[in-house]
Amino acid sequence: MYEDLAREGKYDLRNYVMIRSNDSTLDAFMKRGRQIALYDGRLWIRSIKLVADGALGSRGAALLEPYSDDAGNTGLITTTPERIKSVAVGRSGPASR
């Protein structure tokens, strides 16, 4: 979406974009490589977004001990450690350099 707008000259922002961590998106990104200062420096694509746990305010952040006001709750792990490792070190290609 960002690139479509930039190609059409309709993108006036400068944006640092993260790629979602699903396999099809990651595979396409790794083949293409990081994108730096595209469209006159308006678009940068060179990182991956992973969400490991929930948010602290909603008591979803994963803690080692239960929340002080919610004794049975230690939060939510939304991405397994194995998946995080797979994305972090298991990919190779131009974007990982």
Kindly report the pTM of this predicted structure. 0.66
Can you tell me which residue has the tokens 């990104």?
Answer: 29
- Interatomic CA distance for residues 78 and 66, integer angstroms: 17
Per-residue model confidence as pLDDT tens digits over 58-92: 999 999 999 999 999 999 999 999 999 988 886 55
In three-state secondary structure terms, 45 is strand
Q: Tell me if 33 sits within 8 A of 47, measured CB to CB.
A: no
Alpha helices in 1-97, H assignment, sequence order: 2-7, 23-32, 38-41, 81-89
